[in-house]
Amino acid sequence: MNVVTFVYEGDGDRADVVISAELGITRSNAAKLIEDGNAKKGEAQLKKNTKIEKGAVITVSMPDAVPLDVAAENIPLEIIYEDSDLLVVNKPKGMVVHPAPGNYNGTLVNALMYHCGDSLSGINGVMRPGILHRIDKNTSGLLMVAKNDVSHNFLAEQIKEHSFTRVYHAVVYGTPKNQEGYIEAPIDRHPVKRKQMAIVAGGREAKTYYKVLSSNNGFSHIELKLFTGRTHQIRVHMAHIGHAVAGDEVYGPKKVITKLGGQCLHAKKLGFVHPATKEYMEFDSKLPDYFENFLKANELE
């Protein structure tokens, strides 16, 4: 049993929403933890619809992982780095990170099960072994995976404290007024379209830095750095300032650039303190072909 304790920094969200966001699990999984009696506010058991006030101390007991009922699949992986504690993988566009209803095969987790066997952290449950953070299906780039629970907790704390380096490259529509700047706008679930995220007053703090690298033909090649890691953060923030990511079918214009097969967004750089050596490590990946071809086609190099 793994016990996680945290202080809630928001104000007034439901318990299942709070635990889902803090632990990086689905809301339904958070609700089940609560219903099974595994979540408390102080000494009091929580209900999933309990409103949590700012400063409340929440304790969640995460049951030990059960054997993963997901098939290991011999899917080629581009491993950038690997040791006994973690690995860094370069995920291709189009690959889903972890299984979900209706999509139990061909995911990164299926590939990791084959590559790593039993050497994966079990903290995030049977569907997300070793997964510390994720990127969207149609976003390519670097992801880190924990091989044991000690490493998972150590690395997850860096993500929580925003000391984790995450640098992305994207192509967006138009050219931002300022060549570089910060976007600070709170993000939460869209009040109506529940599968989407949106800028919501009172939502979770979200901060993104951007820098324009080149502009031409109605597009800009930009570099971005995440200071927080909200779901769809870059896509939502860039759409918010009027420069949605090219090819984004959800937050971009209705007339989508279909040849990109989704948003032109790549997780290019990843940096963190290693859980065992305590040394800072940083990895960089080259832009994939789909990205490079789009840059060339629009003379954005």
- Let me know if residue 273 belongs to a domain: no
Site of tokens 């000494």: 43
Alpha-carbon span 29 to 98, nearest angstrom:
14
Q: What is the pLDDT of residue 27?
A: 79
Alpha-carbon span 173 to 175, nearest angstrom:
7
Number of domains into which the chain is organized:
3
pTM to 2 decimal places: 0.78
- Let me know if residue 244 belongs to a domain: yes
**What is the CB-side half-sphere exposure of residue 283 using CA atoms within 13 A?**
18
Domain enclosing residue 23, as ranges: 2-62
Closest of 20, 7, 22, 9 to residue 159, by C-alpha: 22
Q: What is the pLDDT of residue 69?
A: 66
Q: Is 136 an annotated catalytic residue? A: yes
Single residue among 22, 45, 62 that ends a domain in this structure? 62
Which ranges of the chain have pLDDT less than 70?
1, 64-69, 101-102, 123-127
Helices (H), the chain: 15-23, 27-35, 108-116, 149-160, 233-240, 289-297
231 shares its domain with 253: yes
Condensed to tens digits (0 to 9), the pLDDT of residues 35-76 reads 989 999 999 999 999 999 988 999 999 876 555 567 889 999
Token duo for residue 32: 């089940």
Token duo for residue 248: 């984004």
Which DSSP letter does residue 288 get?
P
CB crowding 178-201: b at 16 or more within 10 Å, else e = eeeeebebbbbbeeeeeeebbbee
**Active-site residue identified among 13, 16, 85, 136:** 136
CATH number at residue 90: 3.30.2350.10
Residue 225's CB is within 10 A of a number of other CB atoms, namely 16
